[in-house]
A and B are shown apart, each in its own frame.
Chain A
């Protein structure tokens, strides 16, 4: 599912293109053989934190018709996606307007898979401090990834750490 996570670490590396363009989305919906619904959604989000909310709205609106899950699943998914996108914009892309965040969502019968990819150099996802430890609790940052891990069923990063894949089981 990895989109060939673009990585603009090298000095002078080109950006992904017209990132001043607004949110861009592709959406496909198909009936499965068993009469269920699958959907696939792709977004490209410019690195502006003010767009996180709009992106989440777009995703939930597209999935609304099929997304009749329990509130807790919808809430978990929404929080995880919002945190991943915000992290990608703030830390992955450093809010560089020339860089974008790619979101790919596969909405299947049993699970929702979400992949969020930034154009940064990645980070060491294996050594992220626990924000709930007393020593870290007064920090104003560092809770996004922690919340993601608490709320979804699976989290996986690519090797570089600039793409996160999250799975929420629907059943």
Chain B
């Protein structure tokens, strides 16, 4: 299972991405988050600590989720990106769009 969602104390939904976020599985992540949003959750942390790769479709779904969550008055943060993944965010200037922290703990503290 690539995406594991759990409720963190403080009302944050933490979604762990295990492996990759790519064109073949991005819809699954999108659905998981949208379902949680619809259930009334407003705070989301996507944890990429165990993620080796994100492709442009994966970046696209994060952009799409960011907009949707913001439209609902929510907050989305990303954490745990390795250096390769940070490069992809920087190249596409998405590092300025998202709230990104090195560790999930830092992200959780910022909500």
| A52 partner, pick from B24, B91, B92, beta carbons under 8 A | B24
For the complex, is B64 an interface residue (Cβ under 8 Å from A)? yes
Interface residue tally on B, bucketed by range: 20 to 34
Q: Provide the main secondary structure of the chain B interface.
A: helix
Q: Provide the main secondary structure of the chain A interface.
A: helix
- Measured between alpha carbons, how far is A141 from B67 in the docked complex, in Å? 14
- Measured between alpha carbons, how far is A140 from B55 in the docked complex, in Å? 12
* Segment at the interface with B among A103-111, A144-152, A158-166: A144-152
For the complex, is B12 an interface residue (Cβ under 8 Å from A)? no
CB distance from A58 to the nearest CB of B (A): 15
The residues in B between 49 and 88 inclusive whose CB is less than 8 angstroms from any CB of A are: 55-57, 59-61, 63-64, 67, 84, 88
Chain B residue numbers with a CB within 8 Å of A126 are none
CB distance from A68 to the nearest CB of B (A): 18
CB distance from A101 to the nearest CB of B (A): 13
The residues in A between 122 and 171 inclusive whose CB is less than 8 angstroms from any CB of B are: 131-132, 137-144, 146-147, 150-151
Given contacts A79-B55, A90-B23, A137-B94, 19 further A-B contacts (CB under 8 A): A50-B24, A52-B22, A52-B23, A53-B20, A53-B24, A79-B88, A83-B56, A86-B55, A86-B56, A132-B93, A137-B93, A137-B97, A138-B67, A139-B63, A140-B63, A140-B64, A143-B56, A146-B91, A147-B92
26 contacts between A and B (CB under 8 A): A49-B23, A52-B22, A52-B23, A53-B20, A53-B22, A53-B24, A82-B22, A82-B55, A86-B23, A86-B56, A86-B57, A132-B92, A139-B63, A140-B60, A140-B61, A140-B63, A140-B64, A141-B56, A143-B56, A143-B60, A144-B55, A144-B56, A146-B56, A147-B56, A147-B92, A150-B91
